[in-house]
Amino acid sequence: MSLPLDPIIEVTGVQNAFGSHVVHHDLNLQVMRGEVLGLVGGSGSGKSVLMNTILGLREPQAGTVRVLGTDIASASPCALIALSRRWGVLFQNGALFSALSVRENVKAPMREHTDLSDRLMNELADLRISLAGLEPDAGAKLPAELSGGMRKRAALARALALDPELLFLDEPTAGLDPIAAAAFDELILELKATLGLTVFMVTHDLDSLHTICDRVAVLADQKVEIVAPINELLRSNHPWVKEYFHGPRGRAALGGNGQMGIGA
């Protein structure tokens, strides 16, 4: 796929460390407008740390992060609040408010960032719930009354509450059965096409990487070593890439013979 050369996220020379333990050193990454970029890496490589740095939840020891043209470090609190209205985040495990209904969860960002009437917020929340592929009656349910796949969709509906341009997904299919995970992948593709979203996705899911990602960024050795479409990535000789993508699970995702599996 040919992507416009319009970076929506620019990470330059970032260093993250916890005491003497360096997680990222001189890390660089660009995410282009309109793409789905998958971020992969081994356990402890700092995938979630990088996402939190991009979101402004963590200040790096060095380097710069620009999102939608705004320098995260130098932006005023008001500018950061305005910027956060332009993205949506689906955290690991959904992070839904357990005491609130799905509809009230989806309305939470609207209550924080808008002055809409409750009636209009209800209408918009129900629309987001429908966009996320849930039945209308799901809005009245508590998160505990939903299946794992439905909770992920409810969390996605909340991430879409403010019509974001940019969507962050942290392990969105983790814990889902293969059928639910595949359905979630298809939903992301539909939303990208319908809403024109740019998606930054942290994932271990090989099927998701093959199915929905325009490019994949490999986080290894404290930096982003490779950013490439999956077919190009598979030709890399980097040791971690070879172990991850050409191991038993990787071969299964490729259909066992180096070719894309059915539905990829």
For 143-191, the pLDDT digits (tens) are 999 988 899 999 999 999 999 999 999 999 888 888 889 999 999 999 9
Q: What is the pLDDT of residues 199-223, one digit of tens each?
A: 999 998 899 999 999 999 999 999 9
pTM over cut 0.85:
yes
| Whole-number Å distance between alpha carbons of 81 and 156 | 20
Largest CA distance in the chain: 56
* Strand order across the beta sheet in which 7-18 lies: 21-32, 7-18, 62-67, 70-71
Counting every residue, how long is the chain? 264
What's the pLDDT score for residue 123?
A: 96
Residue 240: CB atoms within 10 A of its CB come to: 18
| Whole-number Å distance between alpha carbons of 104 and 74 | 33
